[in-house]
Amino acid sequence: MSAIFSPSLMCMDLTHFREHIHILNTRADRYHVDVMDGHYVKNITLSPFFIEQLRKLTDKPIDVHLMAESPQEFLIDACIDAGASMVCLHPEVVQRDVFRIIRHIHQRDCEVGFVLNPATPIAVLDSYLHLIDRVTIMTIDPGFAGQPFIKEMLQKIKQVKEVKEKKGYSFSIEVDGSCNEHTFRQLAEAGNEIYIIGNSGLFGLHQQLDTAWETMKQLFSKETASIESH
């Protein structure tokens, strides 16, 4: 499987929103949108309104990462109505209603993923791994960009890959946090498939976004050239 790159739009320069989306539309595989409520994490970022504006400019898949204390149907539906292709949730806040929520999202013709914080074990997802479309492993604590990579998460990525292959599950594996030239090789070796690229992996590489993208791809190719594709 070829590597998939998903720019984290909370890291982009929003003063150049339209220009940068037009550039990314010819390069990115999909988009990553963080929606934070200020409660689950101490930060407030993007919103369903942002998703709606983004959808007007792209037909790429839009993955929404909901970091909200109570991400029940009203917020989930607001994101889907705005144009989300996938909604990714934290199991800690939806466990009580998890099967109903998964069913509801799929009934809306939207994919559903679950996000594992660094301290959250994969076993939390055991009962419904077969129902979901994505497992995202956080390699930093959620809430803020630019945090240092937590190397212990490489073992978790390997565990997720092993479970996927052993059980024959179809979910994709994604990493959120510090995907850059210093971690590309380790993440690829561990079995990652989708790279969420933010400040260190993309937007901070060059002032011109098209140049930053080419730099990112060159760095990724250099770091992973010797790894056999799986």
Catalytic site positions: 34, 176
3-state secondary structure of 99: helix
Three-state DSSP at 167 gives helix
- Binding residues for a divalent metal cation are 32, 34, 65, 176
Residue 74 to residue 144: CA distance in whole angstroms: 25
Q: Is 12 helix (H, G, I), strand (E, B) or coil?
A: coil
Binding residues for substrate: 65, 143-146, 176-178
Token pair, residue 42, equals 């101490």
Which has the closest alpha carbon to 35: 3, 78, 2, 92? 78
Q: Taking the CB of residue 16, how many other CB atoms lie within 10 A of it?
A: 12
Q: Are 179 and 217 within 8 A, CB to CB?
A: no
State the burial class of residue 226 (Cβ atoms within 10 Å of its Cβ: 0-12, 13-18, 19+): exposed
> Which of 28, 122, 39 shows the shortest CA–CA distance to 75?
39
Binding residues, by number, are 32, 34, 65, 143-146, 176-178
201 contact partners, CB below 8 Å, separation of at least 6: 178, 179, 180, 181, 195, 216
Q: Are 72 and 103 in contact (CB under 8 A)?
A: no
Beta bridge partners of 32: 8, 63
